[in-house]
Amino acid sequence: MYKNLVPRFIRYVETETRSDGTSTTVPSTQTQVDFAQTLVAELKEIGLSDVNYNEKNGFVTAELPSNTDKSEVRSIGFIAHMDTADFNAVGVSPQFVENYDGQSDIALDKEGKFKLTLKDFPNLSNYKGQTLITTDGSTLLGADDKSGIAEIMTAMEILIQDPSIKHGKIKVAFGPDEEIGTGANNFDAEGFDVDFAYTMDGGPVGELQFETFSAAQADITIQGKNVHPGTAKDTMISALALAIEFNEGLPSDEVPEKTSGYEGFFHLMAMTGNVEEATMSYIIRDHNREKFEGRKGLITEIQEKINSRFDEERIKIHLYDQYYNMRDIIEKDMSIIELAKAAMVKLGIEPNTEPVRGGTDGSKISYMGIPTPNIFAGGENMHGRFEFVAVESMEKATDVIVEIARLNEEQA
């Protein structure tokens, strides 16, 4: 039933597909274009119809036609992203840890410099008796989100090979540039033409997420005035000092490393410069829309307060929204959440609907007219050398896709 799942996943992660936030192309990297073409060929080989690569937005799409006589079955989409995060992804060499004992440290590299330890990653204890796929310590793994692609591919293969499983129309989409937050901007929601969808882009087994952050970014430029420090009194304006002052104007305890759950934050991602000029880049996050707007307001208040001391504007800010909490859309019809929950329960999986401290492509696609919550794909410790995924987690995610399709038809 799953014979192609793991080989498929390994083949995917061994293909480098990082996105590039500095690129002006769509997709942002040629490696994603090349990978998309391999997915097109595979979808055709499996037997899906209307397989297409959209050169304008970088999405691969395909359709599995309905095989039921029922006319009122809602159509479903399943979505995953092709790119990986900004961490070394060249030469990914997956390692297998079979029948993990749930308590031992796992050495990633031969020298033992990098280890998965229960002290740092207590979630390892959840995988006793399972087969883990890890990195070799030099790269990320890429389970975010190639596990999702592998699961969707395998689920479609199962549905095609077993026509006794009745289902309505199903569409799949594999998109670029999710990790840099731009991939879904050009998604063709009208052309995708489904009633609702799920991104297979979550973490551990059971995750079912319909609440995300609302998100914005602030790119800040600070103009100073550099003169000789020996004659600087009442003349020098240090851009670096203003940058520090700006950051100190934000709540010191509302940062990623001090928040959890529904708590929002300001995250200073980068700061560079000298006395003459400095730049800063923040991301702003909150689940509550009112608090989100308040956070953006505080950014501009600090700007105005500092600028008021000078005869010209010293701090300039490019502040822009990135995505919004998809709960505002999905809560209008929670039946798609109940469908996914029912599928998980049927499979003996306990649903976990905690909010996402981040976003998914579904955040944007939901606001395009297709409610799109997020389902687990199995990966843990994403975006770095400590990433891993259990084979059993990917199998369960594949089962959930198939069961959602089956239950959706049964309930029609």
Tell me the C-alpha distance between 200 and 174, whole Å. 10
Give bridge partners of residue 78 from the DSSP assignment.
172, 198
- 403 as an active site residue: the answer is no
Residue owning tokens 């400590």: 386
Task: Give the 3-state secondary structure of the chain.
Answer: CCCCHHHHHHHHHCCCCECCCCCCCCCCCHHHHHHHHHHHHHHHHHCCEEEEECCCCCCEEEEECCCCCCCCCCCEEEEEECCECCCCCCCCCCEEECCCCCCCCEECCCCCCCEECCCCCHHHHHHCCCCEEECCCCCCCCHHHHHHHHHHHHHHHHHHHCCCCCCCCEEEEEECCCCCCCHHHHCCHHHHCCCEEEEEEECCCCEEECCCCEEEEEEEEEECECCCHHHCCCCCECHHHHHHHHHHCCCCCCCHHHCCCCCCEEEEEEEEECCCEEEEEEEEEECCHHHHHHHHHHHHHHHHHHHCCCCCCCEEEEEEEEECCCHHHHCCCCHHHHHHHHHHHHCCCCCECCCCCCCCHHHHHHHCCCCCCEEECCCECCCCCCCEEEHHHHHHHHHHHHHHHHHHHHCC
- 72 as an active site residue: the answer is no
From the list 178, 179, 395, 403, the catalytic residue is 178
Contacts of 167 (CB under 8 A, 6+ apart): 64, 66, 67, 68, 73, 159, 405, 406, 408, 409
Axis crossing angle, helix 391-410 with helix 143-161, rounded to the nearest 10: 50
From the list 16, 42, 63, 83, the catalytic residue is 83
Residue type, 147: S
Residue 257 CA to its chain's centroid (Å): 19
Tell me the C-alpha distance between 25 and 11, whole Å. 25
Active-site residue list: 83, 178
